[in-house]
Amino acid sequence: MQKGYGTALFLLTLFIALILSGDRIFVVEPVADEPEETTVKHYVSPYVSISPYDSIFRQAADSIFHCDWKLLAAIAFTESRFDSTARSEAGASGLMQVMPRTLRGMGVPDSMHLDTRSNIMAAAMLLKDYNRIFRRIKESDERYNFILASYNAGVGQVSDAMRLARKYGKNRYKWENSVDTFLILKSKPEYYNDSVCKNGQFKDWKQTLQFVKKVRRTWQRYENMQEAYNDSIYSLILSDSTIEVRYN
């Protein structure tokens, strides 16, 4: 009995000593906090990417011509395939193939004729002027045909064709099968020598008609790309409410 009592007393003394020393016999490891769930926000541009110059096209369209920026992109693609160093045999230069005399008239020095921003802004100003000249064509979609034809051929040749259309009983504010027909006929002496014409013979009618069609076709292709891209963004936003759209 004494031996058992002594053993019990020893264990009791050891237990009290451990408690007093601050140690714990049973150690429970703390449970680590669950990591907080982080919300990832995806930023998506609302614009389809067409070229390295999209931001300048949008700026020019918003601040100068007030048109769909993809129209400017379509003109640039048709004129130069987005080559900012392009020069034509006629002397047109840069991304938008603007003539030197036009750039100089807008105050752009010769050293800046190939500068991308200057070239795009000058083209937008030129288009704005044509838009004002043809303001009597109330339907904007129709007016763009005259604007584009003037961009390629010059406003004088298009104006001659309009005067011929009026003289021969056609609608001078309608492009297809009206003014475009008389632009073709301006290659013939009996028409370009008419007293209503002020700008002489026009031989490059085929190039101008193709230019109008190519730009409009490319513009529509860009518009279709944008619509498909918008649908994709819309679906993305519907699937995840944390997605935000950032406007460039």
Contact 245, 233 (CB under 8 A): yes
Contact 103, 125 (CB under 8 A): no
> Structure tokens of 190?
């009996």
Report the distance separating Cα 79 and Cα 2, nearest Å: 112
Report the distance separating Cα 194 and Cα 198, nearest Å: 9
> On the CB side of 168, how many CA atoms lie within 13 Å of its CA?
15
Q: Where are the alpha helices (DSSP H) in 21-153?
A: 54-60, 69-80, 100-105, 116-133, 140-153
Report the distance separating Cα 182 and Cα 68, nearest Å: 29
CA distances (Å), origin 211, targets 25, 80, 99, 140, 189 = 90, 12, 16, 18, 24
Bridge partner residues of 98 (DSSP)? 93
Work out the burial of residue 243: count CB atoms within 10 Å of its CB; fewer than 13 is exposed, 13-18 middle, 19 or more buried: middle
Residues tagged active-site: 79
Bridge partner residues of 87 (DSSP)? 93
Report the distance separating Cα 21 and Cα 125, nearest Å: 88
Residue whose token pair is 């649908």: 231
